[in-house]
Amino acid sequence: MIGSLRGLVESTQDGACVLDVNGVGYLVACSRKTLDRLTAKDGSQKLLVETRVSQDAITLYGFLDASEREAFRALIEVKTVGPQKALLVLSGLAPDQLAAAIAAKERKRLSEVKGLGAATANRIIDEPAMQKWAVGRATPEADGSGALTTPPPPETPEADAVSALLNLGLKRPEAERAVSRAKASLGEGAGLNALITAALRESVR
């Protein structure tokens, strides 16, 4: 499972870039904000990656920081909000702006994101899990957008293992239970590959 890539931006297109990693070009879907930041710099760059597996494709989604990937993961858990709509949201609003809009239930602000629409905006705002995600990040201090977020939690093998199981089609509660059992079985310090393997065994019990 790909967690990150480092390489040179070979080209960009609408909603994606080709990242050259040692001569191999990876097509990575990104938000408009991430693409803008990628093209503003020269040299090798690192993208955090979320891998999504469907019946007919394996798609890579890239992020320059953990807060954007965390927002993406939260958004795709909302009913009818798939990866492409999540990228639309993150193209229009940075994670801290999104958290502020959801916490304050600013429906108009979210519905004005290009390509999103009022119905989807309302669904995101009304989703309890999104409210929980947003309230934990939005603070009263305004920076012009109305919010500042707390630093995102560090990436852990457990979080990456849960993400891997989600990519394989498990529901989040099932994936989290399986990883928790695997961690309890393996003990502290277990590596990612061992966690995923053990969690998969736990998920079929």
DSSP 88-122: HHHHHS-HHHHHHHHHTT-HHHHHTSTTT-HHHHH
Q: How high is the pLDDT of residue 190?
A: 76
Question: Is there a domain that residue 125 lies in?
Answer: yes
User: Which residue do the tokens 């519905």 mark?
Assistant: 111
Same domain, 99 and 121: yes
Asked which of 63, 82, 109 is the last residue of a domain, the reply is 63
Same domain, 37 and 71: no
Q: CA nearest 76: which of 133, 160, 139?
A: 133
How many domains does one find in the chain?
3
Q: Which of 34-38, 52-56, 178-182 is least confident? A: 52-56
**Per-residue pLDDT for 155 more than 60?**
no
The answer to whether 128 and 77 have CB atoms below 8 angstroms apart is no
Same domain, 58 and 73: no
Q: How high is the pLDDT of residue 1?
A: 67
d(CA 168, CA 89): 24
Average pLDDT score over the chain: 84
pTM value is 0.66
Q: How high is the pLDDT of residue 152?
A: 44
Asked which of 63, 79, 104 is the last residue of a domain, the reply is 63
pLDDT digits (tens, 9 = 90+) for 53-92: 877 888 999 999 999 999 999 999 998 898 999 999 999 9
Question: Is there a domain that residue 146 lies in?
Answer: no
138-152: average pLDDT:
44
Q: CA nearest 158: which of 138, 144, 172, 140?
A: 172
d(CA 20, CA 156): 26
Q: How high is the pLDDT of residue 175?
A: 82
d(CA 9, CA 6): 9
Question: Is there a domain that residue 9 lies in?
Answer: yes
Same domain, 53 and 82: no
Same domain, 168 and 185: yes
**Per-residue pLDDT for 118 more than 50?**
yes
**Per-residue pLDDT for 18 more than 80?**
yes
Asked which of 47, 63, 79 is the last residue of a domain, the reply is 63
Same domain, 9 and 52: yes
Q: How high is the pLDDT of residue 85?
A: 93
Question: Is there a domain that residue 79 lies in?
Answer: yes
Q: How high is the pLDDT of residue 163?
A: 79
Q: Integer distance in angstroms from the first to the last C-alpha of the chain? A: 23
Q: How high is the pLDDT of residue 40?
A: 85
Same domain, 58 and 71: no
Same domain, 73 and 116: yes
Model confidence band, residue 138 (pLDDT cutoffs 50, 70, 90): low
| Domain interval for residue 85 | 66-135
